[in-house]
Amino acid sequence: MGSAADQEHEAPGTLPERLPEGLADAIRTTAEEIAELLCTAPDTGAPVPGLTWTVGEVAAHLAQVNALMADLAAGLPRPYGDGTPQRIAPANEEALAAFPERAAKPLAAMIVTQAAACLDAVAAGHPADEILTTPMGPMNRAVLGSYLLTHMLGHGYDLARALKRPHMVDPPRARLTLPFLVQAMPRVTDATATAGLNARYAVRLWGGGRLGVTFTDGTPAVGHEVPDRPDCTISLEPVTFLLMSLGRTSPVGAMARGRVVAWGRKPWIGPRFPTYFRAP
């Protein structure tokens, strides 16, 4: 039996060494801000710009996925589609059709409750490196937490646009999505766009955070370290990076606003980089 100090260190909710620093707080805060945003919605039947869903459908999807993440974090098997990115959209539609709730307040409560349940499951003492099966491939709980945050930020941004309110995507939270994005990028590579490609990219976020992508005959290797002697270095603002990764903003527009800069031996391949990936 551990000391009182050890027991306090391991108390549920503290997530000792199980999630990157700041991730648990970011998940809680994002869920709460989405809930507050939803409760301002005069009509959950309003359309969401860029999507075929309404505000209520986006909120229902968030509630469902947060519950899915909580079950996965608890070690419960939850098949979703067939495990390929191409099946995620149809699986989303099937899940929404089976879940009729579209009212703002109940969905807001579910989003917060299920995000907290996911964090509680992570803190429950499961092996930190246990590999879980998720809709975006195998990952440990730390990456799953980053996945949950990424998903909430993307759709929180959608809801803010629909309701004409400020969004909650900020640089610290955008950086916390890197563990998931690094792992997901090979799965969402457009094989047609990268066919035969040989190139080394270093991607650096303003204020900290980086990743490296090396294409060998079209196949990407993605990691948190940048390659030696990259062909192109891309420096970009973190919120812009996340929104580009999720298909929420145009790379051309971001470059025109000075939010993205590319240099190196082959700087002209910088603008092509976002076209190599397709968010599911």
**Domain region containing 25:** 8-168
What is the chain's pLDDT, residue by residue, as a tens digit (280 residues)?
Answer: 343 334 333 444 444 447 899 999 999 999 999 999 999 999 999 999 999 999 999 999 999 999 999 999 999 988 888 778 888 999 999 999 999 999 999 999 999 999 999 999 999 888 878 999 999 999 999 999 999 999 999 999 999 999 999 999 999 999 999 999 999 999 999 999 999 999 999 999 999 999 999 999 999 999 999 999 999 999 999 999 999 999 999 888 888 899 999 999 999 999 999 999 998 8
Please check whether residue 178 lies inside any domain of the structure. no
Domain end: 135, 168, 201, which one? 168
Please check whether residue 1 lies inside any domain of the structure. no
What pLDDT does 10 receive?
Answer: 41
**Closest to 278 (Cα-Cα) out of 235, 232, 248, 246:** 246
CATH number at residue 64: 1.20.120.450
Asked if residue 208 and residue 139 are part of one domain, the reply reads no
Spatial contact of 260 and 236, defined as CB atoms under 8 Å apart: yes
What pLDDT does 251 receive?
Answer: 87
What pLDDT does 2 receive?
Answer: 42
Asked if residue 94 and residue 135 are part of one domain, the reply reads yes
Asked if residue 212 and residue 162 are part of one domain, the reply reads no
**Measured distance CA(252)–CA(274) in Å, rounded:** 10
Asked if residue 150 and residue 243 are part of one domain, the reply reads no
Domain end: 168, 203, 218, which one? 168
Spatial contact of 45 and 54, defined as CB atoms under 8 Å apart: yes
What pLDDT does 172 receive?
Answer: 98
Asked if residue 199 and residue 163 are part of one domain, the reply reads no
What pLDDT does 15 receive?
Answer: 42
One DSSP character per residue, 71-130 reads HHHTT-----TTSSGGGHHHHHHHHHHT-----HHHHHHHHHHHHHHHHHHHTT---TT-
Please check whether residue 175 lies inside any domain of the structure. no
Two tokens, residue 62: 């968030």
Please check whether residue 192 lies inside any domain of the structure. yes
The total number of structural domains in the chain stands at 2
Beta-ladder partners of 221? 214
CATH number at residue 271: 3.30.1050.10
Asked if residue 195 and residue 257 are part of one domain, the reply reads yes
